[in-house]
Structure 1
Amino acid sequence: MIAFDCRLDRSDFQFAAAFEGDRGITALFGPSGSGKSTAIRLIAGLERPTAGRIVVDGTVLVDTAAGVVMPPHARRIGLVFQDALLFPHLSVRSNLTYGRWFTARAERRIGLEPVVEVLGIGHLLDRRPGTLSGGERQRVAIGRALLTSPRLLLMDEPLASLDAARKLEILPFIERLRDEFAIPIVYVSHAVEEVARLASKVIKLDRGRVVGAGAAIDVLTPTSLADTAARFDAVSFVTGTVLRQLRDFGVTVLGHPAGEITVPGLIEPTSAPVRVTVRATNVTLAVGRPGQISVRTMLAGRIVKMEVDDGPFALATIELVGGERLIAYATRLAMDDLGLDVGDEVTALVKAVGIDERGVPGLKLIGGHAARAD
């Protein structure tokens, strides 16, 4: 549990934000310059707030009113950055255990074996960092941070330097980390699919202020056209069940009351629902059901809300058959040409290539890549 309420005054930037996080992953989300890294630095003790209070798991790290500012080394906070920052001359085993020497023996709650098992790095222990892939290096960096038995784990854009395949490789390990170790995590990312998949709570920052807080489905779904500038971050969530795999084409077909959803990559059949993240900019609306078209995902629904202003865009909310809602950005010109308004029946089209595999749990890679098809 983390409670954060800090102000930092700079000549070129004013930061004032307050939020709380639980035992899961609290994601800090927002554009560059919104204050995400500032919050991370304040929590870690790399910067001192002008005024504020930070409490982690009942321990007061900062309380400027009471004159309390715990030094960074005493905060017991694990840090994972974009660059793994491993010691190149040490083995993976030595890199992992290095941080433990700075943790009092009585406070070492996490052992080497569970960390190695959860992160799947047992076969790497005798190797040097220079022989590892980017994803393997990041898993070792996460393990090193865990083995300090931290009160809190800070992950600042941990996947930003990895390619799509490596991101897909490491996301399940972060999920296991979230589920199997009782350590709160603050996770910074620009990738909306990562945030939607991992976070139990999302804190949206803009210009040093909190502009949204809550579950991903609430924070990442725009409520008005005032968010047009952030339209590429606007997402909806659609839940289906695995119907079949088309292995020859590298895709999985999900069943939904509104229609079938084609997802790039292979998802093993399971009774558990699969949640797909769909960007509002990747949804096309049609009147009726199109015939010869490459798009495989066609979901039936009805427009329940339509927002327009003097700008070029319209924001439509579609209630799908089955009750889930999907948002779609379109131009006002297109909406006018189609004569669409609230109450009209539509078909929402979603290209498979527009579904980011990082937002789909349980997806399997094919030949090192997630195969894509429409």
Structure 2
Amino acid sequence: MMLEIDIRHRQGTFDLEADLQLGSGLTALFGPSGSGKTTMINAVAGLIRPDQGRVAFEGRVWSDAQSGIFLPPHRRRIGYVFQEARLFPHLNVRANLTYGRYFTPKAERREDLSRICDLLGITDLLDRAPNGLSGGEKQRVAIARALMASPKLLLMDEPLSALDAALKAQILPYIERIRDEAGVPILYVSHAVEEVTRLASRVVTMSKGRAARVDLGEGALLHLPRLGDSRPGSFLHAHVNGHAREEGLTLATSPAGPLFLKYADLPVGTPIRLFIAASDLVLATGETGQLSTLNRLSGRVQAIFETGPGIVIRVDCSGQVIDAEITRRSLTALDLALGKPVSLLFKAVSVEAGGVYRLRTDPLG
């Protein structure tokens, strides 16, 4: 799959400019409010007509300002999930879902109602009315309706922004299943670092109408802007290599060293991505003796940043770059300098159940 976006568009006093080629998997459009994320996704959807440039998908031109080509949304074979569920209140869940494939030619309908319901855990909701559903249930139904259209591309515009933290935690695993099992590329708008870290195969950062692609290799989270209440932190790539169930632990291996994690029910060999908050890391020099922290990673100071009253120490651990947040007093006490060897310590429970993310294993463009 290849989505090509090469557009320029003015909306009032706002200018959007993007030149991107995106492959399969889940691509996150990440940035603050007003950065152009929704304008970009609407240009892909055909809800706005770019002033200049073109949008093409799998070699088929959807819009081209120079030649006058512009396919309306229903001819682009997309699914669109908005911030609000936007279900039809006079139809029950089953009827909302079957309406989702109304514009899809019968010969191209590949999605089965029972499969989609299983994928999103909504089989028990089919005979319910939308006004009797919780916010999380409504959004799962909205996602299912979009998938029932058998889309070639799924667009999701901050689908979790209207939900509280508990409901977000419930829905994120379903979005992971869609990413891994539905076989549909996803363009996902978000301003939440935690969502992007967990879901994205790649990230397009948006700022003042300009777009830049970031691939999520080790340390890439360090290049994402910190927005709102998003926690500063880093992620590591690792593989599950065993479990100690009686101790509530999962063992993993990363280039930075062996890891002990809070138990995660994943098969041995599973590739995972771990989010570690900078504030959960303890930084040490020299011998540390016996401590309750099971994880100790060795590295060298790569950079030192001031962040208001605090200090961020960037440590290179065998090629995996990790940020630790400390106080100015600790900086002085440890006599930290570029190149100095240090240890990063953190508890297994610091990597919460929601911070261990199973990764796709297929190659991504």
What is the Cα deviation at residue 255 of structure 1?
4.6
Instruction: Say yes or no: does 1:69 pair with 2:70.
Output: yes
Alignment of 1:224-263 (within 5 A): 232=231, 235-237=234-236, 239=238, 241=240, 242-245=242-245, 252-255=249-252, 258=257, 260-263=259-262
Alignment of 1:301-312 (within 5 A): 301-308=298-305
What is the Cα deviation at residue 148 of structure 1?
1.1
For residues 329 and 163 of structure 1, the distance between their equivalents in structure 2, rounded to whole angstroms, comes to 27
What is the Cα deviation at residue 324 of structure 1?
3.5
For residues 168 and 268 of structure 2, the distance between their equivalents in structure 1, rounded to whole angstroms, comes to 25
Instruction: Say yes or no: does 1:342 pair with 2:338.
Output: yes
What is the Cα deviation at residue 338 of structure 1?
1.6
Per-residue CA shift, 1:223-262, capped at 9, x if unaligned? 9xxx688994552325363533468xxx645455746544
Greater shift in the superposed pair: 74-83 or 298-307: 298-307
For residues 295 and 128 of structure 2, the distance between their equivalents in structure 1, rounded to whole angstroms, comes to 49
C-alpha contact (below 8 Å) 2:153/2:186 kept by paired residues: yes
C-alpha contact (below 8 Å) 1:31/1:206 kept by paired residues: yes
Aligned to 2:214: 213
What is the Cα deviation at residue 39 of structure 1?
0.7
Instruction: Say yes or no: does 1:270 pair with 2:267.
Output: yes
Aligned to 2:361: none
C-alpha contact (below 8 Å) 1:167/1:358 kept by paired residues: no
Instruction: Say yes or no: does 1:117 pair with 2:124.
Output: no
What is the Cα deviation at residue 200 of structure 1?
1.4
Classify 1:163/1:335 alpha carbon distance in 2 versus 1 (closer, same or farther; 3 Å).
Answer: same
Alignment of 1:26-65 (within 5 A): 26-65=27-66
**Local SS of the residue matching 2:101:** helix
C-alpha contact (below 8 Å) 2:20/2:213 kept by paired residues: no
TM-score (norm 1): 0.81
TM-score (norm 2): 0.83
Alignment of 1:32-181 (within 5 A): 32-181=33-182
What is the Cα deviation at residue 197 of structure 1?
2.1
For residues 162 and 7 of structure 1, the distance between their equivalents in structure 2, rounded to whole angstroms, comes to 32
C-alpha contact (below 8 Å) 1:92/1:125 kept by paired residues: yes
Aligned residue type for 2:123: G
**Local SS of the residue matching 2:102:** helix
C-alpha contact (below 8 Å) 1:91/1:128 kept by paired residues: yes
Q: How many residues align?
A: 352
**Local SS of the residue matching 1:66:** coil
Identity score, percent: 43
Classify 1:317/1:52 alpha carbon distance in 2 versus 1 (closer, same or farther; 3 Å).
Answer: same
Unaligned runs of 5+ in 1: 363-374
Per-residue CA shift, 1:250-280, capped at 9, x if unaligned? x6454557465444xx522531344311233
Aligned residue type for 1:338: L
For residues 290 and 25 of structure 1, the distance between their equivalents in structure 2, rounded to whole angstroms, comes to 41
For residues 349 and 191 of structure 2, the distance between their equivalents in structure 1, rounded to whole angstroms, comes to 20
Greater shift in the superposed pair: 116-125 or 183-192: 116-125
Alignment of 1:285-364 (within 5 A): 285-288=283-286, 296=293, 298-308=295-305, 314-320=311-317, 324-331=320-327, 334-350=330-346, 355=351, 357-361=353-357
For residues 298 and 345 of structure 2, the distance between their equivalents in structure 1, rounded to whole angstroms, comes to 11
C-alpha contact (below 8 Å) 1:78/1:150 kept by paired residues: yes
Classify 1:113/1:61 alpha carbon distance in 2 versus 1 (closer, same or farther; 3 Å).
Answer: same
Instruction: Say yes or no: does 1:283 pair with 2:284.
Output: no
Classify 1:310/1:155 alpha carbon distance in 2 versus 1 (closer, same or farther; 3 Å).
Answer: closer
What's the RMSD between the two structures over aligned residues?
Answer: 3.1
C-alpha contact (below 8 Å) 1:171/1:358 kept by paired residues: no
For residues 123 and 228 of structure 1, the distance between their equivalents in structure 2, rounded to whole angstroms, comes to 39
**Local SS of the residue matching 1:114:** helix
Aligned residue type for 1:277: F
For residues 53 and 142 of structure 2, the distance between their equivalents in structure 1, rounded to whole angstroms, comes to 30
For residues 240 and 332 of structure 1, the distance between their equivalents in structure 2, rounded to whole angstroms, comes to 35
Per-residue CA shift, 1:134-186, capped at 9, x if unaligned? 32222211111011122211011112222333323222222221222332110
Aligned to 2:15: 14
Unaligned runs of 5+ in 2: 359-365
